[in-house]
Amino acid sequence: MMLALASRSARAVARCNTVPKLHCLASPVRPLAFSRIFAERVGGASRPTAARLFCAAVAEGGATSPLKGAAEAGAAASRQIVSKLVKPGYERQVGLWLLGTSGLLYSMIAIGGYTRLSGSGLSMTDWRIEGRRLPWSQDEWVREFEEYKLFPEYQLLNKGMMDLDDFKRIYFVEWFHRMWGRSVGVLFAVPLAYFSVRRILKAPLALRLTGLFGLGLSQAFMGWWMVRSGLEDPQKHTPTLGANQRPRVSPYRLASHWTAALTLYLGCLWTAFSLLRPSPAVLHSTKEAISAAKRLRVGAWPVTALVALTLLSGPFVAGNDAGHAYNTWPKMNYDWVPPEWSKAVAKPLSSWRLFFEDTAVVQFNHRQLAYASTFSALALFAYSTQLALSPAACTAAYLLPVAVGAQMCLGVATLLLYVPTELGVLHQAGGVAVLTTLSYLMHTLRTPMVL
């Protein structure tokens, strides 16, 4: 009896000595306590889940530890995903190129906001696909200025109040905005052609990026289509506002241009994420963590849609100059709900234009959407703190209240200060930052393909 117990004990000790200790934990761990420690420190997994992960890792490929088995499974998942997109070994190069392109597109959005807020967007009255140099001589500047004088913005707003030096300033801003857009297009097209010729991009990714490039080309035409509306009688595009309107671009065309810009930006950004971090963190892919990621992802979808809708309501505020009215908060002058909004709601079918053209209505809609976006994002963050998420998902979730809080403060300050150019640009860029944060969160909540 004693000999049998001694033999069994010796075999148990021998099995324990074959399992290496975990180096990622704070202190050495006895192998027999592995399941408990793994459950406590990796995503709150239960003992059976950790044990199953350990057994699967040992049985699959001869792995001697769960960390090694999980790492090998994660590497296999990454190779499986990336192999469908790019030639092996080039995923980082292509991903960094797309991430850099996303940054350039973000700057393009900010420059576009400055162009509009500084009143520079209608200074160039023609458009050429190849672009054009700045006027060099005094005669060239005078000729451009005389051309500008023929259009409504000068005749109704700047007549007798703008000299040649003032015109040069706004003309340069619009010229730089257009040339920066062309530069971004070249910096996207040249690497795309290089990677395609060398067959680094697989067919699905090549087609996706070609589609994004086509969307970028359409942005140039859409931008001019938008500017053209500002060179015409504004009553043609917003008839409900009546005659004697301030010259401005059509809010509908501005919204189209803005929507395409966001689509292009998010397409490049998501693709970059998919190449630089192709698979979720497998070490945290316990059954509980996967379930938590799925639940939070379900909640993140409507929040992302609400934030996107809030951003799409912004061009109607900008296109109707609604930010220069009702510059009080939290009330709109003396009303919580402006009477114009009540009239629009009373007859929505016959008064649908008011939701997109009336100053009070578009600002009220934007305010309410902003409140809903802020509170839903904060609720999503609060819910995330109750779940066992991966470190990347936790980081993204903790960035969310920072982004929405800053954006809310920027929006209120921009309104109360009568839309100064600098704050207006920051507010527009802040909205894109909130959408970026949610996109990153959604990407971290993808569930693993293995384990």
354 in a structural domain: yes
Please indicate whether residue 364 or residue 70 has the higher confidence score (pLDDT). Answer: 364
What pLDDT is attached to residue 293?
86
- As for how many domains the chain has, the answer is 2
Please compute the mean of the pLDDT values over residues 222-244 and round it to a whole number.
80
pLDDT, tens digit (0-9, with 9 covering 90-100), for 417-429: 999 999 999 999 9
Among the residue ranges 37-41, 198-202, 224-228, 338-342, the one predicted with the least confidence is 37-41
320 close to 357: Cβ distance less than 8 angstroms:
yes
Start-to-end C-alpha separation, the chain: 43
Kindly state the tokens that stand for 120: 């520079």
333 in a structural domain: yes
Please compute the mean of the pLDDT values over residues 388-393 and round it to a whole number.
84
- Mark which of 271, 300, 334 sits at the end of a domain: 271
What pLDDT is attached to residue 104?
97
Domain extent, residue 386, equals: 287-451
Q: How sure is the predictor about 388, in pLDDT bands with cuts at 50, 70 and 90?
A: confident
pLDDT at 73 over 80: no
220 in a structural domain: yes
| 264 in the same domain as 393 | no
| 362 in the same domain as 399 | yes
- Mark which of 271, 306, 329 sits at the end of a domain: 271
204 in a structural domain: yes
Percentage of the chain exceeding pLDDT 70: 78
Cis ω on the peptide bond leading into residue 330 (within 30° of 0)? Answer: yes
| 394 in the same domain as 295 | yes
Kindly state the tokens that stand for 254: 């501005």
81 in a structural domain: no
What pLDDT is attached to residue 35?
36
pLDDT, tens digit (0-9, with 9 covering 90-100), for 134-153: 998 999 999 999 999 999 89
| 291 in the same domain as 266 | no
Please indicate whether residue 48 or residue 360 has the higher confidence score (pLDDT). Answer: 360
Q: DSSP character for 279?
A: S
Structure-token match 């970059």, residue found: 272
Among the residue ranges 4-18, 321-335, 368-382, the one predicted with the least confidence is 4-18
39 in a structural domain: no
| 180 in the same domain as 310 | no
What pLDDT is attached to residue 77?
58
| 314 in the same domain as 201 | no
Is the dihedral angle over the CA atoms 250, 253, 258, 261 positive or is it negative?
A: negative
| 260 in the same domain as 335 | no
Task: Give the CA distances from residue 219 to residues 32, 84, 123, 223, 225, in Å, rounded to whole numbers and listed in that order.
Answer: 62, 29, 19, 6, 9
Q: Which residues contact 42 (CB under 8 A, 6 or more apart)?
A: 50, 283, 284, 286
pLDDT, tens digit (0-9, with 9 covering 90-100), for 247-289: 889 999 999 999 999 999 999 999 999 898 876 654 445 677 7
| DSSP symbols for 397-433 | HHHHHHHHHHHHHHHHHHHHTT--HHHHHHHHHHHHH
pLDDT at 8 over 90: no
Q: How sure is the predictor about 237, in pLDDT bands with cuts at 50, 70 and 90?
A: confident
Q: 335 pairs with which residues across the strands?
A: 332
242 in a structural domain: yes
Please compute the mean of the pLDDT values over residues 20-33 and round it to a whole number.
35
pLDDT at 30 over 50: no
Q: How sure is the predictor about 189, in pLDDT bands with cuts at 50, 70 and 90?
A: very high
| 331 in the same domain as 219 | no
What pLDDT is attached to residue 353?
85
Spatial separation of the C-alpha atoms in residues 282 and 111, rounded to whole Å: 40
| Listed ranges 77-81, 158-162, 346-350; the one with the highest mean pLDDT | 158-162
Please compute the mean of the pLDDT values over residues 59-71 and round it to a whole number.
44
Q: Which long-range contacts (CB under 8 A, 24 or more apart) does 99-106 make?
A: 99/269, 99/272, 99/276, 101/184, 101/187, 101/188, 101/268, 101/272, 102/265, 102/268, 102/269, 102/272, 104/184, 104/187, 105/184, 105/261, 105/264, 105/265, 105/268, 106/265, 106/429, 106/432, 106/436
322 in a structural domain: yes
Please indicate whether residue 406 or residue 89 has the higher confidence score (pLDDT). Answer: 406
Spatial separation of the C-alpha atoms in residues 28 and 113, rounded to whole Å: 55
- Mark which of 229, 245, 271 sits at the end of a domain: 271
What pLDDT is attached to residue 68?
46
| 336 in the same domain as 215 | no
Among the residue ranges 232-246, 273-287, 425-439, the one predicted with the least confidence is 273-287
Among the residue ranges 54-58, 62-66, 341-345, 380-384, the one predicted with the least confidence is 54-58
| 381 in the same domain as 232 | no
| 119 in the same domain as 262 | yes
Please compute the mean of the pLDDT values over residues 338-355 and round it to a whole number.
83
Q: How sure is the predictor about 50, in pLDDT bands with cuts at 50, 70 and 90?
A: very low
Please compute the mean of the pLDDT values over residues 318-342 and round it to a whole number.
92
Spatial separation of the C-alpha atoms in residues 413 and 420, rounded to whole Å: 9
pLDDT at 26 over 60: no
- If residue 358 lies in a helix (H) or strand (E), which one and from where to where? none
Task: Give the CA distances from residue 281 to residues 58, 73, 74, 292, 425, in Å, rounded to whole numbers and listed in that order.
Answer: 19, 10, 7, 14, 36
What pLDDT is attached to residue 285?
56
Tell me which residue of 186, 149, 181 sits closest to 166, measured CA to CA: 149
How far is C-alpha 446 from the chain's CA centre?
A: 17
Q: Which long-range contacts (CB under 8 A, 24 or more apart) does 378-387 make?
A: 378/404, 380/296, 380/299, 380/300, 380/303, 383/296, 383/299, 384/296, 387/292, 387/293, 387/295, 387/296
Q: Dihedrals φ, ψ of 331, to 5°?
A: -80, 160
54 close to 35: Cβ distance less than 8 angstroms:
yes
Among the residue ranges 2-11, 214-223, 265-274, 278-287, the one predicted with the least confidence is 2-11
| 304 in the same domain as 185 | no
Q: DSSP character for 249?
A: -
pLDDT at 369 over 50: yes
